[in-house]
Chain A
Amino acid sequence: MRVLFERVEEGMLAFLLALMTLLTFIQVVLRYLFNTGLLWSLEATTYSFAALVVIGMSYGIRTKSHIAVDMLTKKLPKKIRNAVTLFAVVICLIYTGLMFFGAYDLVSRLFDLGNLARDIAVPKWLLTLTLPIGFLLLAFRFIEAGVQVIKGDSEVLLTGIHEDKEQLLAPQSGNQRDQK
């Protein structure tokens, strides 16, 4: 179940990125080769982009790809470091909660207004629904992270700036083929 969810998560991220790239590319091709364009293309692209980012936020916590500064915390003794990290996770949860309420308000306001998006015949609230969902998923990941900290892992938020960075910034997956 969990593995399935994670596969779907990755699949969606890849799909959304490919979709927005192709939409923008096709728009250029249509303009120069056929002197035409798709009216809905830009809006579809930006909403895909938004969906990619808000769904990806929680994926970033799971794969530890958000940047944090660990200069100070890595020098602390283990116990204090754990406490500090737990505090940091609580801050993250408060942030996520506040943003979730803001997002929820936004969607219900849009729902009441009932407007359609500018160029796509879909209600605006439906397209914005990704935002509260994104923060909900993020909250789950932070609760999970909090549990891990209590169990003694103080590196749940740390990602960012340490040696793994190399992989993060320049995907090297293609090299797997060279190694065979």
Chain B
Amino acid sequence: MTAAFLLLVLFVLLLIGVPVAISLGFASITTMLLFGNQSLLSLAQKFFHTMHVYPLLAVPFFILAGAFMTTGGVAKRMIDFANAIVGHYRGGLAMAALLASAFFAAVSGSAPATVVAVGSVMIVGMVNSGYSKSFSAGVICNAGTLGILIPPSLVMVVYGAITESSIGKLFIAGIVPGMVMTIAMMATIMIIAKRQDLPRQPKADFGEVVKSFKEASWGLMLIVIILGGIYAGLFTPTEAAAVSAVYAFFIAVFVYKDIGFKQVPTVLVDAAKITVMLMFIIANAFMFAFVLTTLQIPQMASEFIVGLGLPVWGFLLVLNLMLLAAGNFMEPTSVVLILTPIIFPIAMEMGIDPIHLGVLMVVNMQIGLVTPPVGLNLFVTAGVAKMSLEDTVRASLPWLGVLLIVLMLITYIPWFSLVLPNAIGL
């Protein structure tokens, strides 16, 4: 009854266009006032306390780092480097776009940001070299989803904060699945390139490769700083995020000199805007989770599901379907925030590893990013490629098969997610 009221209010509000954050907050407050015994004071406190959850401090820092890297020319140098390595193969530009997306994903935590960073240069480049616009947009749109799988990842930060799992461990766990996804997409490009006889780029000589690597190494260093720093225990993910923000500022302004001091406040305001947008949702989601646990809703859901006697594989399949469906209508962080408090206790009951569950949710969210009606990457790609939304959906659709195959692999073979964290002994 209580759960039904809470979810019904939430969905009705979402449907009539109330902002996601306020839908969550309003549903939580009214449910608490009607069925619970906690005061408005404790809800407001829960809201305010969200900004004191230490791991969540990584959110603004990673966003700021991403903002400096997108405007500061880091992406451009990564593209040049990727091009020098793989450009001379058949379909080389598409491969370079994929590789550059993977590089950028390794320094940024957001999928749409990756699409903008790589897509704004590469789509035009590919079309000029004789690729079809729809193929180019499809590659960029899907390669961009690597942004939330390859560490750092904002979605993982949020999942880690809400389940109190180690964010460092989640980051490390994302590496192998990220590589599997990259390889699967690379293979697809190779097959298509052969069939459609896509063009090659002139081969870069060794000197050019070294030169482009040197240029890109300032940005690529960030991968070492973030992952090396966390792995070696030098700093927490939050500190790693702050260090990358300062570092990204430094290379954008002093090394690449792509932005001047005058533009720094604009970058700060833009990053603050995105931070607020996300944190407003997160703070309300923390109230939502608080209401759920106070009213013991996850326990009831858990008892119900476990009582069904589903085997683990069956539960995972249901989980995938549920996440994919939700991912179709909302952006990744909202889905993770709304569903994790309900799913997590059930999954723990079924003996699923919390880190594996995190990676699995992220891959589901990747697919949500490229499926209509609400796929953020589709909107962004349509904007960058100057295509209609319908055309972008059509361009991106063939790639769904690749994503789904990788999703199945990662869902049913926990080894992919767990091998690296276990090997390192985190």
Contact = CB atoms under 8 A, between A and B. Distances in A.
B13 interface: yes
A67 B39 contact: no
A68 B18 contact: yes
Interface string B377-394: 001101110000100000
A68 B117 CA distance: 24
B131 interface: no
A172 B276 contact: no
B57 to A, nearest CB: 6
B242 interface: yes
Interface size class of A (residues with CB under 8 A): 35 or more
Interface string B143-164: 0000000000000000000000
A161 B26 CA distance: 20
Contacts, number: 251
Interface residues of B, number: 83
B238 interface: yes
A159 B48 CA distance: 25
Contacts of B54: 42, 46
Given A73-B16, A85-B17, A99 B25 contact: yes
A54 B380 CA distance: 28
Nearest to B13: A91
Contacts of B15: 69, 71-72
A49 B379 contact: no
B40 A163 contact: no
Contact of A25 (B243, B259, B280): B243
Contacts of A94: 26
A60 B270 CA distance: 11
Interface in A13-46: 13-14, 16-18, 20-22, 24-25, 27-28, 32, 42, 45-46
B26 to A, nearest CB: 4
A158 interface: yes
Nearest to A178: B258
Contacts of A56: 272-273, 275-276, 279-280
A140 interface: no
Q: Is the interface of A mostly helix, strand, loop or mixed?
A: helix
B144 to A, nearest CB: 11
A75 to B, nearest CB: 11
Contacts of A168: 273-274, 277
Contact of B280 (A60, A101, A131): A60
A66 B238 CA distance: 24
B60 A49 contact: yes
B277 A17 contact: no
Contact of A174 (B16, B259, B280): B259
A24 B238 contact: yes
A169 B64 contact: no
Interface stretch (B293-301, B317-325, B329-337, B340-348): B329-337
Interface in B33-91: 39-45, 47-48, 51-52, 54, 57, 60-61, 64, 66-67, 70-72
A20 B57 contact: yes
Interface string A149-180: 00000000111111101101111111111000
A72 to B, nearest CB: 5
B71 A171 contact: yes
Contacts of B272: 13-14, 16-17, 52, 56
Q: Report, nearest first, the 7 A-B pairs whose CB atoms are least far apart.
A: A174-B71, A171-B270, A102-B44, A56-B276, A102-B40, A24-B242, A50-B51
Given A17-B271, A32-B234, A53-B275, 5 more contacts: A49-B60, A52-B276, A73-B16, A165-B383, A174-B267
11 contacts: A17-B64, A28-B242, A32-B234, A68-B17, A69-B17, A84-B16, A102-B45, A131-B48, A159-B19, A174-B267, A175-B71
